Amino acid sequence: MPYEVIDNKKMYYEIHGEGEAIVFLNGIMMSTASWVPFLNLLSRDYKVVLVDLLDQGRSDKADVFYTQDMHVDMLNKLLIKLSIDKFNLLGISYGGEVAMLYALKYQERLNSLILSNTTAYTNKIMKHIGDSWEFAASLYDTTNFMKVTLPYIYSQKFYEENFQWINERIKLFKTAFTKEWYDGFRRAVKSADDLNILERLNEIKVPTLIISSELDVITPISYQKEIKNRIENSRWVEIKDAGHASMYEKPNEFSLAVLGFLKTLGYDVRIL
């Protein structure tokens, strides 16, 4: 199993395919396993590098509380060990926050940045939502934890059309979400508590794609617009009829945006 020891912790990663690298950073409840359905498509032309951050998936748990900066440095050390020197960095939600922090520190290593449904600032309502998630996690009760968290993550439309799948997922995670998982989740939530890099986004100069969703209630369009306006070299698309978890609700449109962006990198079509 592909692990590297970084700062005395085992970090789990997977590499699929050959070509220019895309490094994927998961949302807070996701893991490398979440990307399985995308691998055939994404690894056709690219070296897909999946990573579980500390406290995610099969990576080790942290011993103490931390901020997202820790992930940035551990990720960087991991990629150096893997000799992945120049790559495209994609992050979803929590992973997008880490990706922006990474770009602020190590952007010379990036070809491009892809930010899906994320925020550069943990605002007041996100703090309370985060608190409620952390609280729900602290009870180690998966059914209630899922009911506290999922309505923020999926759209009303998706919920309505896929309620059975959602309920099956809740059952499924009853075994996957152990006490250790919940404690990791709680640390992860807390690690984003003080994020506020809005004023620094203009330092990001690499080509950036912003993927937002029409029905995202936690990182809504207005927040995506802020990111768009502050990163000069950015492109912005919206996935229709999807909530926060655009990758789950509209996986084909999500892939379309990612591959479309990568396939146009290096070209700047100018009409004016």
Binders of a second copy among residues 152 to 181 (CB under 8 A) are 154, 156, 159-160, 162-163, 165-166
Q: Is 85 exposed, middle or buried (0-12, 13-18, 19+ CB in 10 A)?
A: exposed
CB contact set of 40 (below 8 Å; sequence gap of 6+):
none
Record the tokens describing residue 265, joined without a space: 């990198």
Give the range of 18-26, 48-56, 189-197, 211-219 binding a second copy by CB under 8 A.
211-219
Residue 196, interface with a second copy (CB under 8 A)? no
Considering only residues 81, 86, 171, 225, which one is a binding residue for a second copy as defined by CB under 8 A? 225
Compare residues 17 and 151 and give the one whose CB is closer to a second copy.
151
CB contact set of 159 (below 8 Å; sequence gap of 6+):
150, 151, 166
Strand 110-116 to strand 208-213: parallel, antiparallel, or no bridges (unpaired)?
parallel
Binders of a second copy among residues 40 to 99 (CB under 8 A) are 40-41, 45
CA distance 115 to 117: 7
Contact 75, 69 (CB under 8 A): no
CA distance 109 to 268: 21
Residue 237, interface with a second copy (CB under 8 A)? yes
Compare residues 10 and 235 and give the one whose CB is closer to a second copy.
235
What backbone torsions phi and psi does residue 237 show, to the nearest 5 degrees? -125, 155
Considering CB under 8 A, how many residues would be counted as binding a second copy?
Answer: 65
Residue 220, interface with a second copy (CB under 8 A)? yes
- Site residues, a second copy (CB under 8 A): 37-38, 40-41, 45, 123-125, 128-129, 131-132, 135-136, 144, 146-148, 150-151, 154, 156, 159-160, 162-163, 165-166, 209, 212, 214, 217, 220, 222, 225, 228, 235-241, 247-248, 250-261, 263-264, 267-272
